[in-house]
Amino acid sequence: MKLYPLVLIILFVAIDAFAATSTRPIISKKEAKAVLKSIDNACGDTWCEGEYGFSFNDFSCITVNGDRADCTLRFTMSTVVEIQHEFRTQTTVRKENTVSCEITNLRRESIVKKASNGSTTYTEHLFKKISDCIASLEEHLQNN
């Protein structure tokens, strides 16, 4: 009977250790939705001015190491391609690529912040990481 309390203590410690290292959201679904909307709103003044159209589908983050997270932005990049045929005829084709940006090893404070109007938005750090990823994807798609 004396081992029973010890077994329970060991079990609780093991469960607590597992919970601390399991993958769970570092930001809420509401915050992720707000960040996605903010990214979509910024698009018109940034990436969307180029030759690609963007449709942002999902933004999520999971905790991978205590207070660090890996985040994924999933979106579709589209462009219009004109194909020249014989006899001066032309076909316009919309080309779509579903892609994602994987941004790793982020702290919560480098993902979300409160805007001056009180809404949740992305941080400058996250915006830079996304911009770098999109530039890389554009370059890759142009070369293929």
Contacting residues for 101 by C-beta, under 8 A, at least 6 apart: 72, 73, 75, 129, 130, 133, 134, 137
Output the CA–CA distances (angstroms, integers) from residue 12 to 65, 73, 84, in the order listed: 20, 36, 69
Indicate whether 57 pLDDT > 90.
yes
Global confidence as pTM: 0.74
- pLDDT for the residue 9: 47
- pLDDT: which is higher, 89 or 121: 121
| Of the listed ranges 21-25, 32-36, 44-48, 72-76, the one predicted with least confidence | 21-25
pLDDT at 74 over 50: yes
Please report, for the chain, the start and end positions of each structural domain, with discontinuous segments joined by +: 23-143
The whole-number pLDDT of residue 26 equals 87
Residue 45's pLDDT band, with cuts at 50, 70 and 90, is confident
Burial (Cβ within 10 Å: 0-12, 13-18, ≥19) of residue 38: buried
